[in-house]
Amino acid sequence: MFSYVARQPIFNRRQQTIGHELLFRNGECNAFPAIDADEATCRLVLENYMAIGNEHIFKGQRNFINFPYRCLINLMPLLLPKNKVVIEILETCIPDDELFLAIKHLHHKGYIIALDDFEYDVRWQRFFCYVHIIKLDLLMLGLDKACDFVRNNRHMKVKFLAEKVESYDDFQVALAAGFDLFQGYYFSHPELLKRRKVAASELTTIQLLQAISAEPVNFSDIEMIISSDVSLSYLLLRYVNNANRRLIEPISSFHQALVYLGEDKLRMFVGVVATAHAALDKPKALYVLSLQRAKMCEKLVHYSSLMIPPEQAFLAGMFSLLDALLDSSLADLLVLLKLQPHIHIALLSRQGELGVVLNLVDAFDKADWQQVMLACTELGLSEQQVQDSYLQAVAWAEKCTQMDYSS
């Protein structure tokens, strides 16, 4: 039985990623309408967590996983490594004696416990000494009510996690109220209130993005931009020589390096480096997500029968968060980039075949499985191809960040 798995980042107060919530869905029936929730969770967690090929989803920081009542009282989380997971008690769980004993046992075994979508009920009171994190849904509770709860309960020895943080304004309010952790895609939106004169480093970023958007790529233009920036020059030569260890003589000139890479690899390198430079004062997750979306778009086009060049899909995915990276409106930035019309339209209004690809990636990021399925049908893609595209994109984005292009 095929299933989707996606992840959403969780941040600390410094906007550093400390973990991800894993979102499992049955790919054939969208959520769990045909099977018991406990059976579905057990099956999907085990299939995906232990599956070969999903290592990049699960490695690194802790994974927050929802467990329904029966999974918890049967102590299913004991099958998973305690140093890799956070056990989320699903909001539908009944806080009875059986659940209390199970949570107490898991706590004593060293597992971190979180209450998901928490709404106060006196029956949960005795659980608090075994709970490490309380998650409050800002959309469900309302921002004011959630913040009041945190202010009034700072004496509790738990961390408060704000869930569904959808804007920088909400993030700042929750931060001031005392929330410790944050989950939501607020970071993928521009801070338009911060609009300012474009810094010199951002001008370089825009110039590079303009250069790789050209058809064909003008190597001389890129050489001129890179040669005027010491850090970019160093990164280019290091990248080419490290990536090609079989070279008899190391490459030492910019022109030689650019020609050696060729158009496709050059676009990829410049896109990654430019995005890293633009994201210096942003959460690292935004940089990672930009890379991930670029590679996922490229892979989806590769698997499809669309006549879109993969490198154009890569650029579209890369540019889809450019407004958040540079705190400017996407429309204004696209005027500067002078992209081909179909890329421009796809980015601004999600129209055309490339627009559908971007819609699919948007939906996957948000775990909107119904929209994922609709886009799959429109593009003629299988669920397996979409999941493979996502996994490959996650792995590639992590590899890029390990290369530390931003320094």
Cβ partners under 8 Å of residue 51, min gap 6: none
Q: Is residue 137 part of a domain?
A: yes
Predicted confidence at residue 224, as pLDDT, reads 82
pLDDT of residue 60: 66
**What total number of domains does the chain contain?**
2
Show the domain range for 338: 200-402
Q: Name residues of the chain where pLDDT drops below 70.
A: 1-3, 25-60, 191-202, 230-231, 234, 241-254, 277-280, 403-407
Question: What's phi and psi for 68, nearest 5 deg?
Answer: -75, 175
Q: Looking at residue 180, what is its pLDDT?
A: 98
Query: What are the structure tokens assigned to 120, written together?
Result: 């106060």
The 3-state DSSP class for residue 195 equals coil
End-to-end CA distance of the chain: 44
In this predicted model, what pLDDT tens digit does every residue of 63-110 receive, in sequence order?
A: 899 888 988 998 989 988 899 899 999 888 999 999 999 999 999 999
Q: Are residues 398 and 290 part of one domain?
A: yes
Asked which of 167, 189, 211 is the last residue of a domain, the reply is: 189
The whole-angstrom separation of Cα 248 and Cα 256 is 14
Same domain, 159 and 239: no
Q: Are residues 166 and 78 in the same domain?
A: yes
| Assigned domain for 284 exists | yes
23 membership: H or E segment, kind and range: strand 17-26
CA distances from 73 to 12, 24, 47, 123 (A): 30, 20, 20, 17
Output the pLDDT for position 197. 47
Q: Do 34 and 161 reside in the same domain of the chain?
A: yes
Does 210 lie in the same domain as 152? Answer: no
301 — phi, psi (to 5°)? -65, -40
> Are 342 and 270 spatial neighbours (Cβ–Cβ below 8 Å)?
no
Q: 407 in a domain, yes or no? A: no
